[in-house]
A = this chain, B = another copy of it.
C-alpha cells in the first residue's frame, strides 16, 4: 500500500486542474461578456464552459475508478494511468478552446488511460469476491 500517497497526489492534481478550468470559465465570462446565470451566448465562452463540464463528466468516472483500481488491482499502475488521464486533459482543453475538432487527441489519450482503470476495477473487484 506504499503507493497510496501517489494515488492521492494524482487525485489532488486532478482537483487542482479542474479548479483551473473553473477559473478559466470565470475569466471567459468577463472577456466574452456572458453574465451568470447564462452559459451560452458566445461560441468561445461555450468552449471554455464545455471543457470544464466535460472534465466534470470524466472526473465522476475517473476519481472512483482510480481508487477502486488502486485498492483492487495495483496502486502504482493506478497512479500511472491516472497521471496520463490528468495530463491528457491539458491538450484536450487547449485544443477544444482553439477549435472543438482539436479536442480529439487529448480526449482519446485520456479515454485510453481511463478505460483500463474502469474495467480493471470491475475485474479486480470480481476476483476479490
For the complex with contacts A12-B68, A15-B65, A22-B57, 18 further pairs of A-B residues with Cβ separation under 8 Å are A5-B125, A5-B126, A5-B129, A8-B68, A8-B124, A9-B129, A11-B121, A12-B125, A16-B122, A19-B61, A19-B118, A36-B103, A37-B96, A37-B100, A40-B40, A56-B60, A60-B63, A63-B64
Given that A15-B65, A18-B61 are known contacts, is A128 also in contact with B5, CB under 8 Å in the complex? yes
A interface with B by C-beta (< 8 Å): 4-6, 8-9, 11-13, 15-16, 18-19, 22, 35-40, 43, 46-47, 49-50, 52, 56-57, 59-61, 63-65, 68, 71-72, 96, 100, 103, 118-119, 121-122, 124-126, 128-129
